[in-house]
Amino acid sequence: MAKVNKFLILILIITLNASCQMKDKYEWQSYTCQPLQQYKGNENIYSVEFVRGDILTLEGDPARLPFGGSSGRWGYTGSAWTPQHGTPIGADVIYYAGYEDKFYHLEIEFPIEEMKKAMDKTYKYNDYTDEKFSGLIFGFAPQGMVVVWKQYAVFRIELGRYQAQVISNDKKLEEQLFRNWSMNREEVAERDFLPDASCEKWDMYRKRYTFKVKMENENQALKLFRYCFTNYNGEKDIIFMPPLPATSYDNRALPQILELDWETSGRERFRGNIFLNEKVIFEKFKNFKTEEKQEFEIKISKDNRVLELFLNHEPVEVDSVRIYKGSVMYEGSY
């Protein structure tokens, strides 16, 4: 009997260790965000408040969205909750959008095989670090539009666009949500209601086009190491460059910020940021088909002081350009 008990205890220990290892392996954060905009006395008019925020996992581990309301801006927030565990495969969320005075129910499933692969995938951050899955970001836009991104540290990749449904019989939800608020529902609606709230803008951000980015320069000593794309659709991606300073053609959303790192000597390292103009860039792309190939060109002056952006050889008006002294060293640096 003692031998049997020892054997059972050993099996239990192995099972618990395996469970703990799996739990540690699939540890991540949950985040919620929305478009950032001020209106009257509300500094973040598009924020939503949660009544329920359950995230479903393959392993059955309980996971949740952070308590309270959404924060940050489209695609990003610095606010998270306690670590979550398991492979996320869906969500069951009830939230209130004060600017529409509506309760919504989001009930969705994620593609299981894609999420299983996502948990083990890594993205190359620099010469020394591969970033693993670190979170899910839920973004709430008007008219029940919800976008979910997978996060790998600084990388953000859209998982999908989903549609929440309006809850018509919401009296109990109203009582539950407003029980401890300093404002009642009528006061919130009076302050925040936007009769023309629409998700059209954020759906426009999601449109994808086929383009590449290449660099031209007058300095033969220049070495380009990295392009970083911060896109209007909330995605963020980094491409480390091969010997030729051009990306391959890729199907992606339009960039809001283009960032690049380069060197011209061991003492001359630079980071450049190009902040695109939303109206200008979407106007230029509005008649392009998604499969048609476009080309961005970045030109760097010989003295590293001027950074210009072109689209199909035509100059592009941008909001601003900033060039900093760089501090990051890469494999192949001077």
Q: How confident is the model at residue 17 (pLDDT cuts 50, 70, 90)?
A: very low
Residue-wise pLDDT tens digits, 222-276? 999 999 999 999 999 999 987 678 899 999 999 999 999 999 999 999 999 999 9
Report the alpha-carbon distance of residue 295 to residue 312 in Å, rounded.
5
Report the alpha-carbon distance of residue 334 to residue 319 in Å, rounded.
32
Rounded mean pLDDT, 27-55? 92
Residue 55, exposed/middle/buried by CB under 10 A (0-12, 13-18, 19+)?
Answer: buried
Task: Kindly report the pTM of this predicted structure.
Answer: 0.89
Report the alpha-carbon distance of residue 241 to residue 239 in Å, rounded.
6
Residue 173, exposed/middle/buried by CB under 10 A (0-12, 13-18, 19+)?
Answer: middle
Domains of the chain: 29-202 (no CATH), 207-325 (2.60.40)
Buried b (16+ CB within 10 A) or exposed e, 284-301: bbeeeeeeeeeebbbebe
pLDDT on residue 6: 53
pLDDT on residue 254: 98
Radius of gyration of the chain (CA): 24
Contacts of residue 330, Cβ cutoff 8 Å, sequence gap at least 6: 126, 127, 225, 226, 240, 261
Residue-wise pLDDT tens digits, 38-51? 887 778 999 999 99
